[in-house]
């Protein structure tokens, strides 16, 4: 398994909690994603390692979960590049929606709102090999541009 850290974010008793699992197996990662509901569980992050700043650039984050809608973004080691998973059916669709990711709500482009059926293979490829799944559609962006 490429990833060595799983973190998932929960709201309980009016408090934000981060739970960490070291050396997670696929079943633990998948379960954390399936538990996302957009209210009390709004983000899952997997990473190569959390031990250094450099390794944190190898991170994939899934956000949302409300009404079966998710976002998925991956970093492959380059601080200036983020890969956002896209919904092929929404290519060219204008507009955006508010999505809960961690502690905040973010405006997300409609084409970046994906289903669980798209998220799970994307996350599995990243978790096992540290790669984005080439069978899926990704947008490469520079967040600092």
Contacts of 106 (CB under 8 A, 6+ apart): 63, 71, 98, 99
CA distance 38 to 18: 15
Please state the pTM of the whole predicted model.
0.91
CA distance 116 to 70: 7
User: Exposed (0-12), middle (13-18) or buried (19+): which is 92, by Cβ within 10 Å?
Assistant: exposed
If you search the block for the tokens 């031990």, which residue do you land on?
51
With pLDDT > 70 as the criterion, what percentage of the chain qualifies?
94
* Band (77; pLDDT cuts 50, 70, 90): confident
State in Å, rounded, how far the first CA of the chain is from the last one. 33
CA distance 43 to 71: 9
Residue 128 has pLDDT above 90, yes or no: yes
Residue 143 has pLDDT above 90, yes or no: no
Contacts of 104 (CB under 8 A, 6+ apart): none
Residue 11 or residue 68, greater confidence = 68
Predicted pLDDT of residue 63: 96
CA distance 87 to 102: 21
Predicted pLDDT of residue 56: 57
């Amino acid at each position: 398994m490429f990833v060595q850290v799983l973190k998932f974010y929960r709201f309980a008793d009016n408090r934000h909690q981060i739970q960490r699992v070291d050396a997670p197996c696929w079943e633990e990662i998948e379960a954390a994603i399936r538990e996302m509901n957009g209210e009390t569980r709004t983000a899952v992050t997997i990473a190569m390692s959390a031990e250094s700043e450099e390794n944190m650039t190898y991170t994939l984050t899934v956000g949302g979960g409300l009404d079966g809608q998710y976002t998925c973004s991956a970093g492959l080691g380059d601080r200036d590049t983020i890969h956002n998973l896209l919904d092929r059916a929404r290519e060219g669709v204008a507009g955006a929606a508010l999505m809960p990711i961690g502690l905040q709500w973010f405006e997300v482009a409609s084409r970046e709102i994906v289903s669980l059926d798209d998220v799970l293979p994307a996350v599995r490829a990243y978790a096992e090999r540290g790669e984005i799944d080439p069978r899926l559609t990704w947008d490469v962006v520079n967040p600092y541009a």
